[in-house]
Amino acid sequence: MARGYRPVPRDQAFLLPPDMRDWLPADHPVHLVIEVVDRHLDTGAVHAARRTGGAGAAGYDPDMLTALLVWAYANRVTSSRRIEGLCRTDIAFRVICAGDVPDHVTIARFRAGLGEAAGALFDQVLMLCARLGMGRLGLVALDGMKIAASASASANRTEETLRKLAAQIAAEHAATDAAEDALFGPASRGDEVPAELADPRTRGERITAALAGLQAARQAADAQRDAAADAYLQAAATGRPGRGSRPAAADVAAAQLRLGQVTAARHATTAGWEKRNAEHLAATGKGMRSRKPVPASDHSAVKHAAAMVDRAKARAAAAERKAAEKAAARKGPGPVRNITDPHSRLMPVRGGGFIQGYNTQNVTSEDGLIIATELTASPTDVAWFEPMAGAAQDAAARITAGRPASPDADGQIGLLLADAGYLSEHNLTLDGPDRLIATGRQHHVEQAASGRQPAGGWHRTGPATTAMAARLATSEGIAAYRHRGHIGERPHGHIKHNMAFRQLSVRGMPRAAAEWKLACTVHNLLKAITAGHLNTTALTALTSC
């Protein structure tokens, strides 16, 4: 039985070690983060993004703020207010800041202003991991992940609504300007906010950007449709329209072009007969024995071409009615843009439903390093295979050059794995590393490999797709493709679940892309630490090299 309780002398004075770094064990990972940022990364780009030399107190060291963000994201903290609070109460955070407490506004502005410096940090950490022997390139996987934006889906507006809001804000601004001119006069008062300090992401600017985005998307779609129609019509004018169905926008014009060509041909035939007949009559005094061609309007080919024009017009009218009926029966609002973050989009997610967010594209090495990454506003993945494959090849060359000894001496990726979201004839046939792209869901691919289902892509066909389906039906193909899930999706699980990074904290594509690069940088650094590659001994060896 215990004799009593320990005393609780909260007023007892303590003498802490004079060196703050001794407040934590020597093997605490925060020491590694500080040393990596201070001694092994070139933070010149981060310093360039900070303004110094003006009036006021000295600013916080960008290296310290960088280490603070890295440590915070590694410990599931992304709120600038929580980071500020931990700088007061958590020993690791206090050691990073050396006793200073940067306020949450400073932290938030520093994060929002990283810009391209975040990409430089990502590349340098990747090269640091390569120097530590990481980055196995035998198998790499490309995968996309949806991440929520710092915006609500309820802030989406249609083009009509955006036009009304823009007009309303313009009227409000005009009324405000008129009232201020009446009160202060039209000249400047001298207390205006400098242009370089004004925040461009006001509500009016966001509405204007969202409206411009919708208009640009519609114009791009119209231009693409018109370009396809023009290309088809130009080919048809030469008599070689090409195979496949004609673009819908060129249907009537192509039929009218064909009618004109057939009619002109019949007129030319009639004119030629009349010329020959006149020459024969002048030479012999008799006309030709051949019968005069029927008038162009009565010729069967012209009638058939005219009927094709009528059918094309009927199809166009039916398509227009169908589009109107579809628009009237549509449950959703149609194309929308978000007025909180105009660059974000509604993204479909696994299991059904949508989120307002972005689509990240990541190429991961066999040992879990993200070697190439991009934040996109595209809801689908297929268009990003080519640029990400190119970025992965560039990263592979840099990794191989940075490693002291590499089994992949040629700097080439062995095999690139991707799911069916990247399947297209173009992606299967373009230059680049050897690849396996699924022609369906994984269980369908495995059923095809076992013979329980015919090989082939669902509705997508083509020689390259057929060849890929046949390759995936082999035991070697299915064995290699089975690695895609744990290579490509494991970093997503780590970032979303272990780092608790499920939503961006900043708005707009440039800032959001920088924050995503920061999260991937932290992932790679944590991977090096937890795998045992990054430790004090390894850093000492790198410093001595």
Q: How confident is the model at residue 455 (pLDDT cuts 50, 70, 90)?
A: very low
- DSSP helix/strand/coil, 430: coil
Q: Strands, DSSP E only, in 302-353? A: 336-338, 345-348
Which of the pair, 334 or 60, is modelled with greater confidence? Answer: 60
Helix crossing, 251-284 with 300-329: angle to 10°? Answer: 170
Angstrom distance (rounded) from CA 270 to CA 205: 65
Q: How confident is the model at residue 354 (pLDDT cuts 50, 70, 90)?
A: confident
| pLDDT(533) > 80 | yes
DSSP state of 405: S
Residue 469 CB neighbours (<10 A):
23
Whether the CB-CB separation of 520 and 120 falls below 8 Å is answered with: no
Angstrom distance (rounded) from CA 407 to CA 367: 14
The least confident of 223-237, 274-288, 348-362, 469-483 is 223-237
Angstrom distance (rounded) from CA 311 to CA 254: 12
| pLDDT(536) > 80 | yes
Q: How confident is the model at residue 1 (pLDDT cuts 50, 70, 90)?
A: low
CA 192 to chain centre: 38
Pairing of the two strands 139-148 and 415-418? parallel
Angstrom distance (rounded) from CA 416 to CA 468: 13
The least confident of 100-104, 125-129, 150-154, 397-401 is 150-154
- DSSP helix/strand/coil, 518: helix
Structure tokens given for 159 = 């083009």
Q: Strands, DSSP E only, in 293-418? A: 336-338, 345-348, 354-364, 370-376, 415-418
CA distances from 445 to 145, 160, 455 (A): 22, 45, 8
Whether the CB-CB separation of 289 and 335 falls below 8 Å is answered with: no
Structure tokens given for 136 = 């196995």
Cα-Cα-Cα-Cα dihedral of 384, 389, 391, 397, to 10°? Answer: 180
Whether the CB-CB separation of 366 and 352 falls below 8 Å is answered with: no
Angstrom distance (rounded) from CA 434 to CA 139: 10
**Is the CA virtual torsion 512, 518, 522, 524 positive or negative?**
positive
Which of the pair, 142 or 171, is modelled with greater confidence? Answer: 142
Q: Render pLDDT for 358-367 as a digit per residue (tens, 0 to 9).
A: 999 999 999 9
Q: What is the rounded average pLDDT of the residues 83-104?
A: 93
- DSSP helix/strand/coil, 331: coil
Comparing CA positions, the residue from 143, 200, 138 lying closest to residue 366 is: 138
Q: Render pLDDT for 252-289 as a digit per residue (tens, 0 to 9).
A: 777 787 788 888 888 888 888 888 888 878 888 787 87
Q: What is the pLDDT of residue 192?
A: 46
Q: Which residue has the tokens 């004075």?
A: 13
CA 110 to chain centre: 24
| pLDDT(409) > 80 | no
Pairing of the two strands 336-338 and 435-437? unpaired
Q: How confident is the model at residue 17 (pLDDT cuts 50, 70, 90)?
A: confident
Amino acid sitting at position 405 = A
The pTM for the full model equals 0.73
Q: What is the pLDDT of residue 9?
A: 79
DSSP state of 503: B
Angstrom distance (rounded) from CA 406 to CA 69: 32
Q: How confident is the model at residue 443 (pLDDT cuts 50, 70, 90)?
A: low
Which of the pair, 390 or 325, is modelled with greater confidence? Answer: 390
CA distances from 337 to 151, 160, 313, 340, 405 (A): 11, 11, 34, 9, 50
Comparing CA positions, the residue from 268, 225, 274 lying closest to residue 247 is: 225
CA distances from 75 to 148, 234, 491, 519 (A): 19, 60, 16, 11
In the chain, pLDDT over 70 holds for what percent of residues? Answer: 75
Bridge partners (DSSP) listed for residue 205 = none
Q: What is the rounded average pLDDT of the residues 455-464?
A: 62
Q: Render pLDDT for 366-405 as a digit per residue (tens, 0 to 9).
A: 999 999 999 999 999 999 999 999 999 999 999 998 887 6
Angstrom distance (rounded) from CA 175 to CA 208: 19
Q: If you average pLDDT over every residue of the chain, what do you get?
A: 82
Q: Render pLDDT for 172-222 as a digit per residue (tens, 0 to 9).
A: 556 666 665 666 555 544 444 444 334 444 666 776 766 676 666 666 666
What is the Rg, in whole angstroms, of the alpha carbon atoms belonging to the chain?
33
Q: How confident is the model at residue 333 (pLDDT cuts 50, 70, 90)?
A: low
Whether the CB-CB separation of 439 and 402 falls below 8 Å is answered with: no
Which of the pair, 50 or 495, is modelled with greater confidence? Answer: 495
Q: What is the pLDDT of residue 447?
A: 62
| pLDDT(88) > 80 | yes
Q: What is the rounded average pLDDT of the residues 312-324?
A: 78
Angstrom distance (rounded) from CA 3 to CA 533: 49
- DSSP helix/strand/coil, 213: helix
Which of the pair, 133 or 351, is modelled with greater confidence? Answer: 133
Q: How confident is the model at residue 239 (pLDDT cuts 50, 70, 90)?
A: low
Bridge partners (DSSP) listed for residue 376 = 359
Which of the pair, 334 or 337, is modelled with greater confidence? Answer: 337
Q: What is the rounded average pLDDT of the residues 414-442?
A: 91
